[in-house]
Structure 1
Amino acid sequence: MTHRVNSATADVASLTIHWNEVGVPCIEPHDEGSRPMVNVRLVIVRGVLQLLGLAGTVVGGITWITGWRHGHGLITLGLIVYVVSFFTRNVSFRRSEGDLELSRSHQSTGEKALQHAESAVRSFRKYAARRPAAALRLATALDRQWDLLNDLGRHEEALPVAHAALETWRQVVEQNKSRREYLSRALSRVVVTLDRLNHDAQESIPYTEEAIAISRSLVAPYEERLALHRTNLAIDLRHLDRWEGALPAAEEAAAIYRRLAATDPKQLSPAAESAKFLAVTRRHLSRAAEAVEATQLWIRHERALADADPARTPGLAEALSTLGGDLRNLHLDEEALAAYLEALELCRTVDEPRAVADALPPVVHTLRTLGRHEEARPLEDELGTLRREHPPAGVHVLRIPSPDQAP
């Protein structure tokens, strides 16, 4: 079964960085046209500060007149306190509490981190109800809560959180279109959670299609995300046996990854997977010649990976063997033999007898087809020896006793 690519978890670090860029100040000016919030604690704090400021100013003035040399300093302190009281007008204790809980969540792990995240969500939800501009805080806290639930495997609880985060990010994007990238990530979180809960693929498609539309509207650095969403859409459509619909998505994903891999070696692995998936899709649709083209692209990526890391050699051998099968379907036996032989030689280099045993049959069969029986015989003998010495896992040999051995 092909699993959907999870991009949501990979984005946690970038969201945290973004949060730090926003900062965690506890004083924020009101938006133009917004109504001041009524908060009893704020009124009390502001009143106490003003009383202290006035008292300090009056007492300082009196003591200064009476000759106390520090009286002028008390006057200055009283005036400062009085002026500071006016700046408490826009202080939000609710926001401060949410910031503190979210910070504690990032400093903790497991259930403890989740408790702090849930507390931050509650605080920011009350704050955002009064201040729509605070939706960004709430969205970030919800993302943190989803990440933790996902890490803990509590996907049933994560689903409503993913939906709540999605709706909150929609509000954020309405206020600031530059946040569309995070809306795309929120959509991906919903898709990932639905997949973890084994929901019908049809349910995920609208979210994936919306994420694709958003990714298309973003600039070049987000092409990788577009390719990821196109791959997810192709997977969903394939699960629904809608192979014709999956083909354009698979083709676009492969084309994007091919372009990215040309300049970024880190993209070679997903590029190889996307080319492999494209070959499978074309083969299923009986587009044999186009399947060969996709398989050759897969080989190109696997060869680059194997050059950088010999541990990837089995992947290259698999791709070459697949190419051999595609070429035989087109009755191109000579070309197929060349691919099979290269795959066989690669299997020999990794010193894996069972891999060699798997690579030998197509070589032998193709040689027989081409009438090259003398070349096929030693390979058949080698295959027989390997299968005796290294039988496939799970295969048991039944030995029938001879008549003189029978009881």
Structure 2
Amino acid sequence: MKYSLISLLALAGAVSAWLPADRNLFGEQPNSVARSISIGNGRSVKRFTSGYNKIRGVNLGSLFIIEPWMCGDEWNAMGCGGTKSEFDCMMKLGQDGGNAVFKKHWDTWITEQDMDKIKEYGLNTIRVPVGYWLVEDVVDKASEHFPQGGMEYMDRLAEWAASRGIYVILDLHGAPAAQEPNQPFTGQYAPSSGFFQDYNYDRAVKFLTTMTERIHKNTAYRTTGMLEVLNEPERNHPDLITTFYAKAHDQIRAVEQSLNVPADKQLTIQFMDKGWGAGNPRDVLQGKDGVAFDNHRYLKWAPIEHSKTSYLATSCADTFGQDDNKPIVIGEWSLAVDTAVEWAAEWDPTKDDNKAFYKQWWAAQVQAYEKDLGWTFWSWKTQLGGDWRWSYSGAVDAGVIPKDPNEAAGLAKC
């Protein structure tokens, strides 16, 4: 069933939802430049600049959807070597054997010590990529093969985040039948994208509504405030916007209304922005508040000159969120460079002479992405040896990223 724009507008009403600043979740950050405003009789109050309450975070990549390219040692140790995706590994190991190795992975890939380090490194947000199979009722068990039991670990992670005041963005990263072909981030190395049909749209909506209810009913999710309806969809599917995006928005709000969730406690619903190339969500979201957008800024694949000067200049001048696709979080970015040059002497991350460039480029990207809501780096940890360009923790440990993200302003030199 397709939802009309009129029905969407009628249902949504005056939804405000919530972002970290609305609950002062991150507190007074060190970069919160305050100015005193007189309120009479010698009294004053603080007001903060736009540097206050920026999202500064990391993706917990390969926790609930493993991407073999970034954690080959873990993949092989699990017995998944030689397979391309979680679906394929489960086919190889069988349901019981696969469940056992994936539970061990969920129990060890991200720990409480990781969460403590995320806080120590000045970060305040985690973006958690998950697959639709987290909600097991959505899975066609006769034809789809995924690990079971992940929800318990998702609940645990949400509580770990909440107890540390860390904001959580929950991201539907892997959709039913895959929203991109030949991509292990969908959980299945599918030869074609089968997501773009009503049956699978409905299954994705069921995932989103189930998680919406869980977030509001389970106190572990008290700092989970943003739900991304779909990660990186394939281009050129117009009904993604008119049917799936509209229905997802409509049904998430319907669940919240049925639970009597007040407007200021409703989830921020997030969509990939028009710049991704799969359509403009504002076509069905005009007049809506309580929404946000996502864009992924990988200069590694950008049509630019692949030189250090070009990377810095591009990031310093970067703009995004056109056509009212704001507020926006840059949900994925890294320090990876073009494959053709990434191991040349002037780019080699293992050479100390190159660290100054990567530090400046990190800062230039941070400065750009904090023009709006902020950013989440891809990813927290990897198993790529000395190549920390995809690993925030690895880059901090290598002395490339400072423990205090506030240093970006002085390092970017834009």
TM-score range, shorter chain: under 0.3
Give the alignment's TM-score, normalised by structure 2: 0.26
Q: Relative contact order: is structure 1 or structure 2 higher (C-alpha 8 Å, sep ≥ 6)?
A: 2
Larger Rg: 1
Give the alignment's TM-score, normalised by structure 1: 0.26
Q: Judging by fraction of residues, say which structure has more strand.
A: 2
